[in-house]
DNA sequence: CGCTTACTTGAGTCTGGTCAAACGGGGTGG
DNA sequence: CCACCCCGTTTGACCAGACTCAAGTAAGCG
């Protein structure tokens, strides 16, 4: 919730041709014309600090973003302060698609680490759909994938036990981070607090803490200050009774 | 779970030009060329019985459907039988978009009432994106809307109390049914069992039953055999601490 | 007419929540 | 440089919302 300036990093802008995400195995490749368009679609870059609130529920955002670097999450808050974290954001993820298509955002977005974002002009979306159908397809694909993740999470929150829930979420985040390159330097760590975990899974911080102890005692994870190290991903997945989710080469913009 | 034959109703097929959904205020209108394409995109119609399992998790479906009539729901099942209902289907909703874009369906779909579905050929999707960008946009819009509903439901399952959860879900279903014309004849009733409610909201049938009694005693609803009558939608929404969700004119295919 | 499905209701139990207190590290102002 | 504070984490004691088990009713169907 800290308020800090955001830095406009348009100067040292990453060229789409050199996009670090493109190098990852997980993403599909653009054709040259697509690449050219995406490059023009991109308006600039933005660097934000840790703990910055990027978008607020109810706002009407003029932009669409892609995460280039860093972690974030999106969430809703009830009147009395109860918070539900809906999903996390890692490199390659879109921010604000709902807001770009509908009237307004129905959730807020906050950063967990310093982030770098690509900024796209919402106004150019019609052109994208008109002239680059494959990119339009990709956008639908990404929305469908977000839906899939929500399906898995909803199933966990609704029907799994505390231990299973936590194991599920950590396994999911581990896998997403691996694929997106979010763990490049820092080996297998996830930058969240126990409070975030609790608010994602519909449980209290206290009980979350006690459950983490159990997972740690089983050598599945190790908890650090504001971060979680995954020691045994297979063990986590079987503790969660979860088989993972996969979906071939993903697009990104 | 009853297994019945599905009837191919291609014979008495509804022409897209006469689509009953188009008459509803909620949906946007097609342009003539769009209408022509959609008409060719539609391969036929299918009528299915109540309690029929339309799609199974893990399957690879060749079709995409739109609900013309009736109620359904999509869900996941854990190995040990625990079930999580993810969302409900009312007229105008798409079925199988995830399956059409990704490798396989990651959830199952079942009917709550007899249903009529329009069948679309998954293989024609590229043509849709190529030649009818506005329809491609609509598909993304629909995926984003599904995501929005999931956001609301996840928030309820994770952070609302039992009473609030149930009030939320009934209010949501009531509103969706109203807008989609699913309540045309039968005034304000929702065709689900308490078991469905429980499996949607992550609670037990017993506790669900007791909570429904409370809502009924407050004159917000009346419960019938296999169905729920909403008596006071505003009361329900305030009991849920929920403001509803709206999003202008929705597209459909 | 017996079977199954849906709904009720009560009793007892337990997972997970609340309350409270304490610790350690990092940042900040005096 | 130090005192203080805040945040994130930890732990214990107690509480309660929600679950399980169990049994019974009513309606629908073959």
Q: What angle do CA B191, B196, B200 make, to 5 degrees?
A: 120
pLDDT the model gives residue B9: 46
| DSSP tag of B18 | G
Q: Considering only alpha carbons, which residue of chain A is nearest residue B146?
A: A147
Asked whether the beta carbons of A78 and B240 are under 8 A apart, the reply is no
- For chain B, the average pLDDT equals 90
Q: Which residues contact A62 (CB under 8 A, 6 or more apart)?
A: A121, A122, A123
Protein-to-nucleotide distance from the CA of A168 to the C1' of C5, whole angstroms:
34
CB contact under 8 A, A155 and B84: yes
Block residue for tokens 């506005």: B134
Protein-to-nucleotide distance from the CA of A208 to the C1' of D12, whole angstroms:
16
Q: How many residues does chain B have?
A: 253
Q: Which two tokens stand for residue A123?
A: 């106004």
Protein-to-nucleotide distance from the CA of A69 to the C1' of C26, whole angstroms:
25
- For chain A, the average pLDDT equals 90
The Cα of B12 is separated from the nearest Cα of chain A by a number of Å equal to: 32
- Chain centroid offset of residue B202 CA: 19
Mutate to test the interface with A, among B88, B127, B139, B144 (most CBs of A within 10 A): B144
The Cα of B202 is separated from the nearest Cα of chain A by a number of Å equal to: 4
Asked whether the beta carbons of B70 and B44 are under 8 A apart, the reply is no
Provide the terminal-to-terminal Cα distance of chain B, rounded to the nearest Å.
28
Cα torsion A74, A77, A83, A86 to 10°: value is -30
CA distances A157 to A76, A238, B167, Å, are: 16, 17, 19
Protein-to-nucleotide distance from the CA of A138 to the C1' of C29, whole angstroms:
52
Residue B7's DSSP bridge partners are B47
Nearest by Cα to A84 from A172, A195, A168, A179: A195
Distance of alpha carbon A48 from alpha carbon A62, whole angstroms: 18
Distance of alpha carbon A6 from alpha carbon A48, whole angstroms: 5
Strand D proximal to B213 Cβ, under 7 A = no
pLDDT digits (tens, 9 = 90+) for B30-77: 999 999 999 999 999 999 999 999 999 998 888 999 999 999 999 999
pLDDT digits (tens, 9 = 90+) for B112-151: 999 999 999 999 999 999 999 999 999 999 999 999 999 9
CA distances B135 to B19, B28, B97, Å, are: 17, 11, 14
CA distances B154 to A56, A102, A162, B42, B56, Å, are: 19, 20, 16, 33, 23
Cα torsion A76, B83, B103, A35 to 10°: value is 0
Which residues in chain B are contacts of A129 at CB distance < 8 A?
129, 133-134, 136-137
pLDDT digits (tens, 9 = 90+) for A178-207: 999 887 666 679 999 999 999 999 999 999
Backbone angles phi, psi at A233, to 5 degrees: -65, -35
CA distances A160 to A197, B74, B209, B216, Å, are: 14, 18, 21, 29
CA distances A24 to A16, A178, A251, Å, are: 14, 10, 11
Distance of alpha carbon A26 from alpha carbon A92, whole angstroms: 10
The Cα of A201 is separated from the nearest Cα of chain B by a number of Å equal to: 6
Strand D proximal to B202 Cβ, under 7 A = yes
Mutate to test the interface with A, among B159, B243, B249 (most CBs of A within 10 A): B159
Nearest by Cα to B153 from A86, A126, A40, A138: A86
Q: Is A115 helix (H, G, I), strand (E, B) or coil?
A: strand
Mean pLDDT value of segment A36-47: 93
Nearest by Cα to A153 from A130, A176, A120: A176
Strand D proximal to A204 Cβ, under 7 A = no
pLDDT the model gives residue B188: 73
Asked whether the beta carbons of B149 and B89 are under 8 A apart, the reply is no
Q: Considering only alpha carbons, which residue of chain A is nearest residue B81?
A: A159
Distance of alpha carbon A140 from alpha carbon A135, whole angstroms: 9
Is 0.75 topped by the overall pTM? yes
Which residues in chain B are contacts of A97 at CB distance < 8 A?
140, 144
Asked whether the beta carbons of A37 and A129 are under 8 A apart, the reply is no
CB pairs under 8 A between A and B: 151
pLDDT the model gives residue B187: 67
Mean pLDDT value of segment A96-108: 91
Q: pLDDT-based confidence at A103, cuts 50/70/90?
A: confident
Provide the terminal-to-terminal Cα distance of chain A, rounded to the nearest Å.
28
Q: How many residues does chain A have?
A: 253
The Cα of A136 is separated from the nearest Cα of chain B by a number of Å equal to: 7
Nearest by Cα to B233 from B196, B152, B155, B179: B179
Answer whether residue B237 shows pLDDT above 90.
yes
CB contact under 8 A, A143 and B140: yes
Q: Which two tokens stand for residue A140?
A: 């639908």
CB contact under 8 A, A97 and B154: no
Mutate to test the interface with A, among B61, B93, B154 (most CBs of A within 10 A): B154
Q: Considering only alpha carbons, which residue of chain A is nearest residue B77?
A: A155
Mean pLDDT value of segment A223-229: 93
CA distances B153 to B56, B105, B116, Å, are: 22, 21, 26
């Amino acid at each position: 919730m800290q308020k800090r300036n955001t830095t406009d990093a348009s100067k040292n802008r990453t060229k789409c041709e050199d996009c670090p995400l493109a190098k990852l195995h997980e993403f599909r490749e653009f054709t040259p014309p697509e690449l050219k368009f995406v490059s023009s679609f991109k308006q600039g870059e933005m660097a934000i600090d840790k703990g910055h609130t990027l978008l607020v529920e109810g706002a009407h955002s003029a932009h669409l973003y892609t995460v280039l670097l860093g972690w974030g999450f999106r969430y809703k808050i009830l009147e009395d302060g109860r918070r539900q974290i809906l999903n996390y954001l890692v490199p390659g993820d879109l921010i604000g698609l709902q807001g770009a298509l509908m009237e307004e955002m129905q959730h807020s977005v906050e950063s967990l680490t310093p982030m770098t974002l690509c900024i796209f002009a919402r106004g150019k979306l019609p052109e994208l759909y008109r002239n680059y159908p494959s990119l339009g397809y990709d956008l639908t694909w990404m929305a469908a994938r977000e839906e899939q993740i929500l399906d898995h999470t909803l199933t966990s929150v609704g029907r799994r036990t505390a231990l299973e829930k936590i194991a599920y979420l950590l396994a999911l985040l581990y896998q997403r981070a691996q694929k997106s390159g979010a763990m490049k330097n820092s080996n297998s760590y996830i930058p969240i607090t126990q409070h975030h975990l609790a608010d994602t899974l519909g449980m209290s911080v206290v009980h979350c803490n006690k459950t983490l102890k159990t997972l740690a005692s089983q050598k599945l994870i190790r908890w650090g200050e504001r971060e979680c190290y995954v020691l045994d991903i297979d063990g986590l997945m079987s503790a969660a009774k979860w088989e993972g989710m996969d979906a071939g080469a993903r697009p990104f913009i």
